[in-house]
């Protein structure tokens, strides 16, 4: 029987869980680590899920009309997913993005036909940056639909309806910990809530960038972990509206070099080319797997995207030998 799909939106979700057997064996880890391989979504990241959810919600509520335009702020992946969905549905797309995100992401956004407005990375040092960029987007694009990925409830809702159930089903209900980063907060809040309802004792863990991986006034352009944001020691109004910190049991901080090293290990030991945000969640999952209380347990880490969109990013090359780095500069 033929299985022919009519649109890329029909290909979103249903990504596999993979057990990291080589990675575990090499490190002698007591816990199993399963990874949710989200780069197998059609536009290459977990954000494809929310992209379609945001657009579908707007269509159903009459906020997007044929030939309309969508606009948002992005660190790359949501914009790429939205640009792909917009192309498939006949909409225009425009995104505001930090000028410190991977150049590969910018090229992908342009390839999908999106307009990009670059914002100086130092702007996001302002505690009120989210409020200010939202006001700017609305003021400069009065006719466009602002998808508001950071605070739109359609975001965590789709993770509750799809990501969480997929993990629970494919792991046969054996999930003792779930690790994710926070970009919009939708993944940990939606999938995490679903998993907590199925297993009240599950440990929900967030990986966040350490101080050396964050922009400062002295160094506004560090090697960052694209799309992964700090959630501790941050005022509530600075956090994404979709982030539900009450669900989170633990936050593990790490530096970009540690995320890059974990991403390289994935490639060289498991054949998985994942990004630095994926490396961050894997590093955090590895720390959990080394703890005695997780002996014989199962940890699920979400891998948000592919390493292909970071090949030209300085952060992605931190794990390489220093001589090779100097030759590439």
> Domain check: are 286 and 303 in the same one?
yes
Q: Which residues pair with 251 in a beta bridge?
A: 206
Given a cut of 60, whether residue 322 has pLDDT beyond it is: no
**What's the pLDDT score for residue 319?**
59
Q: What are 113-130's pLDDT values in tens digits?
A: 999 999 999 999 998 998
> Domain check: are 197 and 172 in the same one?
yes
> Domain check: are 214 and 235 in the same one?
yes
> Domain check: are 111 and 54 in the same one?
yes
**What's the pLDDT score for residue 321?**
52
Domain boundary pick from 118, 146, 174: 146
Domain boundary pick from 146, 168, 192: 146
Q: Residue 24: give its domain's CATH number.
A: 3.40.50.1100
> Is 290 within the bounds of a domain?
yes
DSSP 8-state secondary structure symbol assigned to residue 15: P
Q: Which two tokens stand for residue 33?
A: 């680590």
36 in active site: no
> Domain check: are 177 and 310 in the same one?
yes
Provide mean pLDDT across the span 68-78. 94
Number of domains in the chain: 2
pTM of the predicted model as reported, rounded to 2 decimal places: 0.93
Q: Which of 45, 207, 213, 277 is catalytic?
A: 277
Domain boundary pick from 98, 120, 146: 146
> Is 141 within the bounds of a domain?
yes
> Domain check: are 181 and 205 in the same one?
yes
> Is 3 within the bounds of a domain?
no
> Domain check: are 55 and 35 in the same one?
no
Given a cut of 70, whether residue 326 has pLDDT beyond it is: no
> Domain check: are 184 and 293 in the same one?
yes
Residues 273 and 305 sit within 8 Å (Cβ to Cβ)? no
- The span from the CA of 161 to the CA of 186, in Å, is 12
> Domain check: are 16 and 62 in the same one?
no
Q: Which of 47, 94, 157, 230 is catalytic?
A: 47
Q: What are 156-210's pLDDT values in tens digits?
A: 999 999 999 999 999 999 999 999 999 999 999 999 999 999 999 999 999 999 9
> Is 328 within the bounds of a domain?
no
Q: Which residues pair with 34 in a beta bridge?
A: 19, 300
> Domain check: are 182 and 114 in the same one?
no
> Domain check: are 183 and 278 in the same one?
yes
- The span from the CA of 313 to the CA of 318, in Å, is 9
> Is 136 within the bounds of a domain?
yes
Q: What are 142-160's pLDDT values in tens digits?
A: 999 999 999 999 999 999 9
- Measured CA to CA in angstroms, residue 22 lies from 26, 35, 48, 82, 270 at distances of 6, 13, 29, 35, 6
- pLDDT-derived band at 221 (thresholds 50, 70, 90) equals confident
Residue 154 φ/ψ, nearest 5 degrees: -65, -20
Domain residues for 107? 47-146
277 in active site: yes
> Is 201 within the bounds of a domain?
yes
> Domain check: are 182 and 68 in the same one?
no
Q: Which two tokens stand for residue 231?
A: 């959630």
């Amino acid at each position: 029987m033929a299985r022919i799909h009519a649109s890329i939106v029909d290909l979103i979700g249903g990504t596999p869980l993979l057990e990291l057997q080589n990675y575990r064996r090499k490190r002698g880890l007591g816990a199993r680590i399963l990874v949710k391989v989200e780069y197998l979504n059609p536009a290459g990241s977990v954000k494809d899920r929310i992209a379609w959810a945001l657009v579908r919600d707007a269509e159903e509520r009459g906020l997007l009309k044929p030939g309309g335009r969508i606009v948002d702020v992005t660190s790359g992946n949501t914009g790429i997913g939205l640009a792909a969905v917009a192309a498939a549905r006949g909409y225009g797309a425009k995104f505001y993005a930090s000028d410190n995100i991977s150049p590969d992401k910018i090229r992908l956004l342009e390839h999908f036909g999106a307009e990009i407005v670059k914002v100086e990375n130092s702007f996001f040092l302002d505690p009120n940056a989210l409020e200010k960029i939202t006001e700017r987007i609305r003021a400069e694009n009065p006719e466009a639909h602002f998808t508001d990925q950071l605070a739109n409830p359609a975001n965590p809702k789709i993770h509750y309806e799809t990501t969480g159930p997929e993990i629970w089903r494919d792991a046969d209900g054996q999930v003792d910990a779930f690790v994710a980063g926070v970009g919009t907060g939708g993944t940990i809040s939606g999938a995490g809530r679903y998993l907590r309802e199925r297993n009240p004792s599950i440990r929900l863990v967030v990986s966040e960038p350490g101080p050396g991986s964050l922009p400062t006034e002295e160094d506004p352009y560090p090697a960052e972990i694209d799309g992964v944001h700090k959630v501790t020691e941050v005022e509530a109004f600075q956090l994404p509206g979709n982030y539900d910190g009450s669900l989170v049991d633990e936050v593990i901080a790490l530096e970009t070099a540690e995320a890059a090293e974990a991403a390289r290990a994935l490639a060289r030991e498991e054949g998985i080319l994942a990004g630095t945000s994926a490396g961050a969640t894997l590093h955090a999952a590895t720390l959990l797997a080394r703890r005695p209380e997780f002996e014989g347990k199962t940890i699920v880490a979400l891998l948000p995207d592919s390493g292909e969109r970071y090949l030209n990013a300085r952060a992605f090359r931190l794990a390489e030998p220093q001589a090779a780095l100097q030759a590439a500069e």
